[in-house]
Amino acid sequence: MNGSAASPGTEIASAPQRDRRAALWALCVLVVAGWLGLVFSRGLKLETSVLAMLPPSEQDPALHELTQQLSGRAAKTVVVLIGHAGREQALAAATFAEAALRDSQAFSSVKGSFDTQTERAFFDFYFPHRYEMLSARMRAELEKGSGGDELVLRVRSLLQSPASSLYTGLLERDPLLLYPDVLQGWAATSIGVTASDGFLLLEKDGATYALLSAETAADPFDANGQRASIDAIEALRLTLAEKFADSSLLYSGVPRFAAHTREAMKSDIMIIGTGSMLGTALCILLAFFSLRPFLLSFLPVAVGTATAMLATLLIFERVHFLTLVFGTSLTGLGVDYALHYFCAHRLGGKDWDARRSMRAILPGITLGVFTSVLGFSGLYFTPFPVLRQFALFSSVGLIGAWATVVCWFPPLLEVPHRRSAPPWLHGQCARFLALWSTLRAQRGAKIVLAGLCLAAFASPFFLAFEDDVRRFQSAPAELLAEDARVREIAGRADDSRFVLVEGASEQETLERLENASVLVRGAIDDKLLDNSRDLALFLPSRSRQLKDHALLAEKLLPNFAALKAALDDIGFDAPVIEELHRQLATEPADLLDVDKWLASPASELLRSLWLGATARGFGTLVMLGGVRDGAALEQRLAGAPGVHYVDRVRDMSKLVERYRVDSTRLVVVAYIGVLIALMIRFGPRNGVQVMLPSLLSAGLTLACLVASGTSLNLFHLLGLLLVLGLAVDYGVIFAEYGTSEATALFAVLLSVLTTVIAFGLMVTSSAPPLRALGASVSLGIVLALVFSPLSCLSSKSRDQSASPT
Amino acid sequence: MNFAAQLAPLFLGTLMAFAETDERPAVLAHPLDVEHPPAAFVAVNKSLRETNCIRADFAEEKKIKVLKRPLVSAGNLIFCGKLGLYRALKTPFVQELLVRPDGIAQRDPAGKVEKVEVDKQPLAKGFIDAFLLVFSGDDKALGAQFELYFDGTEAAWSMGFVPKRKPLSKFIASMVVTGKKNVLATLEVIEVNGDRTFTRFENVVTDKELSPDERKRCFAWD
């Protein structure tokens, strides 16, 4: 190694050079700190959604755009149900609630009661088109051969019914009462929602619920999030309970889950951050009995975290909360390089030379940072945004920590340690190593080791995997229960499953939608799902309108004299009948179309279903509720042109599965790559020996997880990548360390302790991915420590590796 | 959620004309204090409540303003408490109507049944509930839904109902029922837009139980 070859002359000359290096790094750190301050002052954009940590649907840009649009909308919407056994009380409470939510200022819009203007807009928009839009039932009747007689009988029986008041107002302009039939057609597609006093009312289990839907005012990605909105609803819950006895409030929506995730993750950050910081500091204090290393240990962590944070914020638009939680564990990793230096310092005694010692450990920790970054960079090239963030955060963080140790520590730790005797822990390490060397010579131990190797290498064949993305999200049972209840009562559509209908033109899209709508309705009849919502009935295609009009004309005009007589018999005035004739005989000039519909306030509630121009033309949605058999539904829609069934959770899970398989390969490739690198560095046989602890620990980690019945997911495997990065480090340090093996183990032990503290704390996280990561890393690292002495090369082979060829 | 349902029933209400107050029924000059109802009112409702089954022939005249002549119809009906109202129209066409708390169904002479489930038709539900209530004698429920009016004695009475609540109040101005003891004589419905329906009941039978055959034929269509 270079250090031992350096002459005293160059050493003296290099001292000011090193101080320059320290100053230069200080400048860099200042720039980073300033820049970070600037970024923070502009406000952080944080992401909490589990779906956001997954890659975009890469195969289809139109779909990607659409899902972004959908989740963007869902991210702001909260559905609130106000219930009471008495309808009147429910209405009163809902009226109060609507006003309270509006007054809270936490929502940009609150939709509850419907004003008469909206009602009027609907009538004004659709009534003129009553001869061009037939209800499905009416169309079917006419196609089956019904004509004037049947229509007149229908009018008569409507007028004879006790509820005739509902129709009489229309009679003069709509003598065949076609418009009420359209309305009834709309209502027939509903899911048991009734409107009264302007509110949307739902009856469930003897109680009446009024439905309010609100959009949060805050940006869903704002660091403080939509807390204000959630607080407003929770406050309302209390007020309602006071003011309206026995009333109930149920609410759900992405903001509620996001707020919960935010809080859970904040407490994760607190626990993991504080825990690992304190744990690490305690380790250092115990190991070195000295204040200076204790204080210095915060430097690489702080600098590393700041640098990593800045890099992540600059490269990614929104930082995922998981990245921040994960980043707090960096404490354990960043402090590693410092530990090696502290060990050298502690054991250096009176002859301590800060610079020479740095030169001595430099190759080891440099190779260490190189292999770790190599391990992480594998993650950077996955399409998972959150993994890329992890990789970037960790890599930059480690480099920052490494640079801090290399540039700052020699000038900061020039005073030798006041004790020269090796610390207690060091003695234990020596005993542990002695144990290992005894074991190595024993036959029984060799057999046990062989058995463990077998278990390690066999474990991959017994793995069970879990790729369902929903398992990556955790929410308290009460939140999930309330969400399920809201969905049950309000029949809310599933945001993750829908049908996308596309066409080259608006009209083609609408025609295809009409086809898809019929297919979905058939599937509802066959109980494949509960309900659906689409525009087919509200925005018929031009060809459908022309056909409906032609159908009416064809059935009624040839025999109009009879129809006229029948209507006259009911008592209609002649001008009313003449006007009917004119309407039927004239080709409709002014058809409904997308632009008119979009421009009308009548489209307000349904506008979101029309996607407008997409990457391939135009698109519209069929929202689905209570899907029971998505596969069967998909099959039914398979033949329809321009119609795609989309199940984001399933697609995401498939994607997760694919990447899990890919990352398994990545793990294998990474381990082989590192092995090759070690074989080049240490020679083939020694390379394998240095690698052995990593392989054993990874394999046995899997074996432990299998034995405990854990289903593995992507994050367990990624944990193994991290284990590789760290365990190889330990092996390399053992093999490279110029000093005694006990000293190497001492350093490794400390680094393992700090890492296990960080990742072990991650097991307490509320986020399942972090729990998986924490479990596999902390387990793997402990095992790596236990087996690390296997890397000890005999002095002979170390000499060989030092001078290969 | 489904927006269709919330929209469907609303617009018809928007079209209603303002009340036309011609010929206000006489009984509406006699408001009733719900807290202290006259003995005759209590007695009439009690006897209505105690009547299991009302059978009658009816003749109805519906005056709709936009039509040149009234719609006239006749037939018979059975009102049977919780089972609902069964109405068989004989003229001007044959049709059976069954009004039950959960919906309205129509059956044509060919036996074809058409149902309107009221949970999707809040207006229709309002009508049904009110309709069934008026004959029920349930004075508490009546008081909650209507301003009540009463005139006469137990032997010859008239009761007036003015809906308190939307949506019914948007359509119905008042309803007046007259009768003798538990025997209904007439029902008049006056709508907000001025349309009127006058129904006369004859051959009222109140003391005959529903036969199993009737129960099946008239009230069990499913």
What is the residue type of B103?
A: G
Which two structure tokens, joined as six digits, stand for B113?
């049944």
Cβ of B97 and A161 within 8 Å?
yes
Kindly report, residue by residue over A720-769, the tens digit of the pLDDT.
877 877 788 777 777 766 446 677 777 778 878 888 888 888 888 888 88
Are A87 and A208 in contact by the 8 Å Cβ rule? The answer is: yes
> Which long-range contacts does A166-169 make (Cβ < 8 Å, 24+ apart)?
A166/B12, A166/B123, A166/B124, A166/B127, A166/B171, A167/B12, A168/B64, A168/B65, A168/B66, A168/B191, A168/B193, A168/B195, A169/B12, A169/B15, A169/B16, A169/B17, A169/B193
A107-111 vs A531-533, strand pairing mode: unpaired
B6 contacts on A by Cβ (under 8 Å): 114, 193-195, 200, 605
Least confident of A57-66, A181-190, A672-681, B144-153: A57-66
Whose tokens are 């009380």? That residue is A89
State what percent of residues in chain A have pLDDT above 90.
20
Q: Is residue A564's pLDDT more than 90?
A: yes
CB atoms within 10 A of CB A597: 18
Identify the CA nearest to A792 among candidates A749, A737, A755: A737
Q: What pLDDT does residue A51 have?
A: 67
A114 touches chain B (CB under 8 A): yes
Least confident of A77-86, A181-190, A204-213, B188-197: A181-190
3-state secondary structure chain B: CCHHHHHCCCHHHHCCCCCCCCCCCHHHHCECCCCCCCHHHHHHHHHHHHCCCEEEEEEEEEECCCCCCCEEEEEEEEEEHHHEEEEEEEECCCEEEEEECCEEEEECCCCCEEEEEHHHCHHHHHHHHHHHHHCCCCHHHHHHHEEEEEEECCCCEEEEEEECCCCHHHHEEEEEEEEECCEEEEEEEEECCCCEEEEEEEEEECCCCCCHHHHHHHHCCC
Residue A169's H or E segment, with its range, is none
B123 touches chain A (CB under 8 A): yes
- What is the rounded CA–CA span in Å between residue B153 and residue B157? 5
Which two structure tokens, joined as six digits, stand for A248?
């109930």
Q: What pLDDT does residue A662 have?
A: 79
Backbone dihedral angles phi then psi of residue B175, each to the nearest 5 degrees: -130, 140
Instruction: Kindly identify which residue of chain A lies nearest to residue B89, measuring between CA atoms.
Output: A160
pLDDT bracket for residue A796 (50, 70, 90): very low
Q: What pLDDT does residue B18 have?
A: 40
Is residue B92 reached through a cis peptide bond, with omega within 30 degrees of 0 on the bond before it?
Answer: yes
Sign of CA dihedral A758, A761, A766, A768: positive
Higher pLDDT among residues A74 and A570, named by residue: A570
Per DSSP, the three-state class of A499 is strand
| Burial track A63-99 (b if 16+ CB lie within 10 A, e otherwise) | bebbbeebbeeebbbbbbbbbbeebebbbbbbbbbbe
Are A518 and A604 in contact by the 8 Å Cβ rule? The answer is: no
- CB burial class (10 A; 0-12, 13-18, 19+) of residue A708? exposed
- What is the rounded CA–CA span in Å between residue B194 and residue A691? 95
Is residue B167 reached through a cis peptide bond, with omega within 30 degrees of 0 on the bond before it?
Answer: yes
B96 touches chain A (CB under 8 A): no
Whose tokens are 């004037």? That residue is A148
Which two structure tokens, joined as six digits, stand for A218?
């805050």
Q: Is residue B101's pLDDT more than 80?
A: no
What DSSP letter does each residue of A54-91 carry, written as one string?
SPP-TT-HHHHHHHHHHHHHHTTEEEEEEEESSHHHHH
What is the residue type of A164?
A: S
Which two structure tokens, joined as six digits, stand for A143?
């196609």
Average pLDDT, integer, range A621-639: 89
pLDDT bracket for residue B153 (50, 70, 90): very high
A123 touches chain B (CB under 8 A): yes
Q: Among B93, B122, B195, select the one facing A165 at the smallest CB separation.
A: B195
State what percent of residues in chain A have pLDDT above 70.
89
- CB burial class (10 A; 0-12, 13-18, 19+) of residue A239? middle
The tally of CA atoms less than 13 A away on the side-chain side of residue B117 is 12
- What is the rounded CA–CA span in Å between residue A52 and residue A46? 11
A586 touches chain B (CB under 8 A): no
Q: C-alpha distances in angstroms, A213 versus A54, A490, A696, A731?
A: 28, 11, 55, 59
Q: Is residue A801's pLDDT more than 60?
A: no
Kindly report, residue by residue over A90-107, the tens digit of the pLDDT.
888 988 998 898 888 888
Are B132 and B84 in contact by the 8 Å Cβ rule? The answer is: yes
A188 contacts on B by Cβ (under 8 Å): 120
Per DSSP, the three-state class of A46 is strand
ipTM of the complex: 0.85
Q: What pLDDT does residue B10 have?
A: 41
Least confident of A50-59, A88-97, A707-716: A50-59
Q: What pLDDT does residue A190 have?
A: 57
Q: Return the CA Rg of chain B.
A: 17
Mean pLDDT rounded to a whole number for chain A: 82
Residues 39-58 of chain B with CB under 8 A from chain A are none
Kindly report, residue by residue over A240-288, the tens digit of the pLDDT.
999 888 899 999 888 888 888 888 888 888 888 888 878 888 888 878 7
Task: Note the helical H segments in A104-209.
Answer: 116-126, 136-143, 148-160, 165-168, 178-188
Q: Among B67, B89, B120, select the one facing A571 at the smallest CB separation.
A: B67
Whose tokens are 């090796």? That residue is A422
Which two structure tokens, joined as six digits, stand for A585?
């005989």
Mean pLDDT rounded to a whole number for chain B: 81
Q: What pLDDT does residue A737 have?
A: 60
pLDDT bracket for residue A803 (50, 70, 90): very low
CB atoms within 10 A of CB B101: 12
Cβ of A211 and B68 within 8 Å?
no
Strand partners, B150: B159
pLDDT bracket for residue A188 (50, 70, 90): low
B116 contacts on A by Cβ (under 8 Å): 184
- What is the rounded CA–CA span in Å between residue A706 and residue A463? 6
Identify the CA nearest to B199 among candidates A686, A461, A160, A36: A160
Q: Whole-model pTM?
A: 0.72
| Burial track A668-704 (b if 16+ CB lie within 10 A, e otherwise) | eebbebbbebbbebbbeebbebbbbbbbbbbbbbbbb
Kindly report, residue by residue over A503-559, the tens digit of the pLDDT.
999 999 999 999 999 999 999 999 998 888 889 989 999 999 999 999 999 999 999
Q: What pLDDT does residue A5 have?
A: 39
| Burial track A532-549 (b if 16+ CB lie within 10 A, e otherwise) | bbbbbbbbbbbebbeebb
- What is the rounded CA–CA span in Å between residue A618 and residue A631? 25
Q: What pLDDT does residue B122 have?
A: 61
Which two structure tokens, joined as six digits, stand for A630?
């998505």
CB atoms within 10 A of CB A632: 14
Are B51 and B58 in contact by the 8 Å Cβ rule? The answer is: no
Interface test with B, best of A114, A196, A200, A609 (most B CBs within 10 A): A196
B182 touches chain A (CB under 8 A): no
Cβ of B167 and A120 within 8 Å?
no
Cβ of A194 and B120 within 8 Å?
yes
State what percent of residues in chain B have pLDDT above 90.
30
Which two structure tokens, joined as six digits, stand for A251?
């609410």
Backbone dihedral angles phi then psi of residue A15, each to the nearest 5 degrees: -60, -55
Are A546 and A132 in contact by the 8 Å Cβ rule? The answer is: yes
Least confident of A2-6, A195-199, A433-437, A466-470: A2-6
Q: Is residue B1's pLDDT more than 50?
A: no
Region for A192 from its dihedrals, namely left if φ exceeds 0, alpha if ψ lies in -120 to 50, beta otherwise = left
Top-ranked range on mean pLDDT: pick from A3-7, A118-122, A597-601, A793-797: A597-601
- CB burial class (10 A; 0-12, 13-18, 19+) of residue A582? exposed
CB atoms within 10 A of CB A149: 12
Q: Is residue B60's pLDDT more than 50?
A: yes
Distance from CA of A550 to the nearest CA of B (A): 25
Residues with Cβ < 8 Å from A150, sequence gap 6 or more? A141
Q: What pLDDT does residue A513 have?
A: 94
Cβ of A570 and B71 within 8 Å?
yes
Which two structure tokens, joined as six digits, stand for A242?
């006071």
Q: Is residue A710's pLDDT more than 50?
A: yes
B10 contacts on A by Cβ (under 8 Å): 114, 119, 122, 195, 198
Instruction: Kindly identify which residue of chain A lies nearest to residue B6, measuring between CA atoms.
Output: A195
Q: What pLDDT does residue B6 have?
A: 39
Which two structure tokens, joined as six digits, stand for A791?
């890397």
pLDDT bracket for residue A191 (50, 70, 90): very low
The tally of CA atoms less than 13 A away on the side-chain side of residue A510 is 21
B169 touches chain A (CB under 8 A): no
Least confident of A223-227, A259-263, A360-364, A632-636: A223-227
A119 touches chain B (CB under 8 A): yes
Average pLDDT, integer, range B124-148: 80
A164 contacts on B by Cβ (under 8 Å): 62, 64, 195, 197
Residues with Cβ < 8 Å from A682, sequence gap 6 or more? A689, A690, A735, A793, A797, A801
Backbone dihedral angles phi then psi of residue A211, each to the nearest 5 degrees: -105, 130
Per DSSP, the three-state class of A714 is helix
Q: State the maximum Cα–Cα separation within chain B, in Å, rounded to a whole number.
A: 52
Q: C-alpha distances in angstroms, A578 versus A172, A174, A194, A573?
A: 11, 12, 37, 9
Q: What pLDDT does residue B105 have?
A: 85
pLDDT bracket for residue A152 (50, 70, 90): very high
Q: What pLDDT does residue A10 have?
A: 41
Average pLDDT, integer, range A427-453: 81
Higher pLDDT among residues B146 and A75, named by residue: B146
Q: Is residue B190's pLDDT more than 60?
A: yes
Q: What pLDDT does residue B16 have?
A: 41
Interface test with A, best of B6, B14, B68 (most A CBs within 10 A): B6
Kindly report, residue by residue over A678-701, the tens digit of the pLDDT.
888 888 888 888 888 888 888 899
Q: What pLDDT does residue B20 have?
A: 43
